[in-house]
């Protein structure tokens, strides 16, 4: 089994190595995705920093096999916050106070004449999401996984985010895939040799659930992105195992459900910079996916912390408004611990070996928000929010 672990293929490592030429059988996929030994965990405390001894960093896109799937497809990025699908948008409760009604009306004004916007029920919907997120949250599972460490999960999620980007998938798909991974790992023991199989299959399941049928990748794509390490039969068996373990329950409020609402509220008073705020919020949200410490935390709290960290980084005042407290259900002081984790992840992202999120949000397409100076000062060896 150990030799098989050494042969696992993961992205962004040694891509230019002459000894690892492209493999025609993998639809042009480069044999540069070798997963290194996982026998000893690296020293960093945070997952975003934890890949230094796990794999070498190199530049370039994922692989031509994945690009073959995405060629010619309509590019779909995070939807504008003004056109969030109804399943992800809250509504006004008839019994709310006039003050709270005004808070919601400020960010739902564009939906007044949109029947799909269901602006009359948005608050009730999000109250339901807040209840539902407590019933299906992954637990702190690493101690129960004898063969895995938190840093291994970091490598896996880093790879999932890159594959998601190269496959041009919907943002909902990414958050659901990571949820499936964490939920399954919190319920079933997994050996390290099958960790990538769990990740690939979770992404497949998320695609089936979230993607339009015409855009959903075929099975061969998921075989290719794992460099043919796993067969079609192995993926199908794992798919059945995951779905049975989760009791086929995939209708869950992920981070994304809360992000689209909270980010919209954060931007509503500053329309000129809506896109910058949106990009910054989603940058911190994807950094959050990498942090194992945040796995047991409620998605709504992590989403709220991403908004807080974004406003902190962009130097918005006030940092936390009455509208945000109402929409998120959290006071700014309740988010401090999560925000510290996210700001630390940002401050170390450029030097980390797991830098897919950093590179993604350093691009001009996403406003280069990752290049913004982190909102933290270590000079006094303590936290100081700027």
Bond from prior residue into 318 cis (ω within 30 degrees of 0): yes
Residue 74 lies inside a defined structural domain of this protein: no
pLDDT of 16 strictly over 80:
no
Last residue of a domain, one of 223, 245, 267: 245
Q: Which domain holds residue 303?
A: 255-371
Alpha carbon distance, N-terminus to C-terminus of the chain: 50
Kindly indicate the confidence band of residue 265, based on its pLDDT and cuts at 50, 70 and 90: confident
Write out the DSSP string of 239-289.
Answer: HHHHHHHTTT------HHHHHHHHHHHHHTT-GGGHHHHHHHHHHHHHHHH
- Between CA 360 and CA 367 the distance in angstroms is 10
> The tokens 């936390």 sit on which residue?
320
Predicted local confidence at residue 325, as pLDDT: 94
Q: 364 and 324 in one domain?
A: yes
What are the tens digits of pLDDT across the range 30-78? 333 434 344 444 444 443 333 333 333 333 334 434 444 443 444 444 4
Strands (E), the chain: 22-23, 29-30
Domain tally for the chain? Answer: 2
What are the tens digits of pLDDT across the range 99-141? 444 555 466 665 666 666 667 788 888 899 999 999 889 999 9
Q: 143 and 22 in one domain?
A: yes
Residue 96 lies inside a defined structural domain of this protein: no
Residue 183 lies inside a defined structural domain of this protein: yes
Buried b (16+ CB within 10 A) or exposed e, 267-302: bbeeeeebbbbbbbbbbbbbbbbbbbbbbebbbbbb
49 CB-near residues (< 8 Å, 6+ apart): 42, 348, 351, 352, 354
Contact status, residue 29 vs residue 23, Cβ threshold 8 Å: yes
pLDDT of 242 strictly over 90:
yes
In CATH, what number is assigned to the domain containing residue 358? Answer: 1.10.472.10
């Amino acid at each position: 089994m150990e030799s098989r672990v050494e042969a696992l293929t993961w992205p962004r490592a040694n891509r230019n190595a002459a000894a690892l030429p492209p493999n025609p059988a993998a639809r042009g996929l480069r044999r540069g995705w070798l997963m290194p030994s996982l026998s000893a965990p690296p020293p960093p405390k945070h997952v975003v920093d934890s890949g230094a001894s796990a794999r070498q960093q190199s530049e370039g896109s994922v692989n031509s096999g994945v690009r073959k799937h995405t060629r010619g497809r309509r590019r779909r990025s995070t939807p504008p916050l003004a056109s969030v699908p109804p399943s992800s948008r809250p509504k006004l409760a008839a019994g709310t106070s006039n003050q709270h009604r005004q808070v919601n009306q400020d960010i739902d004004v564009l939906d007044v004449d949109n029947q799909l916007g269901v602006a009359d029920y948005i608050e009730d919907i999000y109250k339901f999401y807040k209840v539902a997120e407590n019933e299906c949250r992954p637990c702190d599972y690493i101690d129960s996984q004898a063969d895995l460490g938190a840093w291994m999960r970091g490598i896996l999620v880093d790879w999932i985010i890159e594959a998601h980007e190269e496959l041009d998938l919907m943002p909902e798909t990414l958050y659901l895939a990571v949820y499936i991974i964490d939920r399954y790992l919190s319920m079933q023991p997994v050996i390290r040799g099958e960790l990538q199989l769990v990740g690939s299959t979770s992404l497949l399941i998320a695609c089936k659930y979230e993607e339009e049928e015409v855009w959903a990748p075929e099975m061969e794509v998921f075989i290719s992105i794992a460099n043919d390490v796993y067969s079609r039969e192995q993926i199908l068996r794992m798919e059945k195992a995951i779905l049975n373990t989760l009791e086929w329950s995939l209708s869950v409020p992920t981070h994304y459900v809360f992000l689209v609402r909270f980010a919209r509220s954060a931007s509503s008073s500053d329309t000129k910079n809506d896109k910058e705020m949106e990009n910054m919020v989603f940058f911190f949200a994807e950094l959050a996916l990498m942090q194992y410490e945040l796995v047991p935390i409620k998605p709504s709290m992590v989403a709220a912390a991403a908004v807080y960290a974004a406003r902190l980084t962009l130097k918005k005042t006030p940092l936390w408004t009455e509208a945000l407290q109402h929409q998120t259900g959290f006071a700014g002081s309740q988010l401090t611990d999560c925000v510290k984790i996210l700001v630390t992840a940002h401050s170390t992202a450029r030097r980390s070996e797991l830098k897919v999120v950093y590179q993604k949000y350093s691009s001009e397409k996403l406003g280069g928000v990752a290049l913004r100076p982190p909102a933290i000062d270590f000079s006094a060896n303590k936290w100081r929010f700027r």
